[in-house]
């Protein structure tokens, strides 16, 4: 069902300025020299090792030939064959996705994309997972592949919480079915938690928590019980809550928040 708010999805949003972005947006850590070279696009890690052994790499003016050397991407000066090398710093952004915006960088139907809500200088970021077209709420963007993997791969089991408004009254036995797990369209679906927030004959509001998040899993849980979703909002990922972040706006994650997500 198309979200009733989608008609407002094309409203203009002002792109924020990069001025005054806190340094906590960037995760500073020591990395192996060959990894630094790979992330800078100089060479693969294996080829980077060969470059190091050949004595072609300098760190702060001194030639380095050991594989285990670690560098601080923000402060150490790295050069290959005398030419300075720089790598992009890691960036972590939380965005309150509006309904009827897509998470792809480009859309064949020319619908607005969440990347239009970010500064142009952040074109190298990618979304951590997706929220479908009609859904809204918390989504992260980053240029850190390990961060994305940790939050999206099932083996890490990072919990995500949703608030769902559906047509009609949701019975308690339905929520029990969600947490026990069910098979729908040949796929096993399961919620870690499901709680009825409010209910009337017209509509119900349900809080659902997932540990992995398969394709459209929340919507399919309700669909399996012939319940129509009117609104779906993601309100929490790990320990990070959407809070009062305005719709269509972003903020950078703090260092403690980043660490809590990687635990």
Distances (CA, A) of 2 to 230, 231, 246: 8, 9, 22
Q: In whole angstroms, give the CA distance from residue 153 to residue 157.
A: 7
Q: In whole angstroms, give the CA distance from residue 49 to residue 110.
A: 44
Distances (CA, A) of 12 to 3, 8, 38, 114: 19, 9, 38, 12
Q: Hey, is 256 helix, strand or coil?
A: helix
Q: In whole angstroms, give the CA distance from residue 73 to residue 86.
A: 8
Q: In whole angstroms, give the CA distance from residue 99 to residue 233.
A: 9
- N-to-C CA span, the chain: 37
Task: Write down the catalytic residue from 72, 76, 132, 187.
Answer: 132
Distances (CA, A) of 116 to 17, 22, 39, 173, 239: 13, 21, 25, 42, 27
Annotated active-site residue 132? The verdict is yes
Q: In whole angstroms, give the CA distance from residue 92 to residue 253.
A: 6
Distances (CA, A) of 127 to 16, 44, 52, 81, 198: 18, 24, 33, 35, 32
- Residues taking part in catalysis: 132
């Amino acid at each position: 069902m198309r979200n009733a708010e989608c008609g407002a999805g094309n409203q203009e949003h002002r792109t924020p300025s990069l001025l005054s972005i806190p340094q906590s947006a960037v995760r500073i850590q020591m990395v192996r020299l060959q990894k630094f070279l790979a992330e800078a696009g100089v060479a693969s890690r294996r080829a980077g090792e060969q470059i190091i052994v050949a004595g072609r790499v300098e760190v702060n003016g001194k030639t380095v030939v050991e594989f285990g050397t670690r560098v601080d991407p923000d402060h150490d000066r790295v050069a290959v064959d005398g030419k300075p090398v720089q790598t992009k710093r890691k960036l972590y952004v939380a965005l309150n996705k509006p309904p009827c915006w897509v998470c792809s960088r480009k859309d064949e139907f020319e619908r607005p994309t969440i990347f239009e809500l970010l500064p142009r200088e952040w074109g190298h970021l990618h979304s951590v997972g997706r929220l479908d077209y009609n859904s809204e709420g918390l989504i992260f963007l980053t240029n850190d592949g390990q961060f994305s993997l940790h939050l999206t791969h099932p083996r890490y089991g990072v919990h995500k919480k949703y608030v769902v408004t559906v047509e009609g009254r949701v019975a308690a036995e339905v929520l029990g079915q969600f947490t026990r797990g069910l098979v729908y369209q040949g796929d096993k679906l399961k919620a870690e938690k499901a709680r009825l927030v409010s209910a009337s004959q017209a509509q119900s509001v349900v809080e659902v928590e997932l540990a992995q998040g398969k394709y459209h899993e929340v919507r399919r849980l309700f669909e399996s019980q012939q319940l129509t979703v009117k609104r779906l909002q993601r309100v929490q990922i790990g320990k990070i809550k959407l809070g009062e972040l305005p719709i269509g706006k972003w903020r950078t994650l703090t260092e403690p928040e980043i660490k809590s997500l990687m635990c």
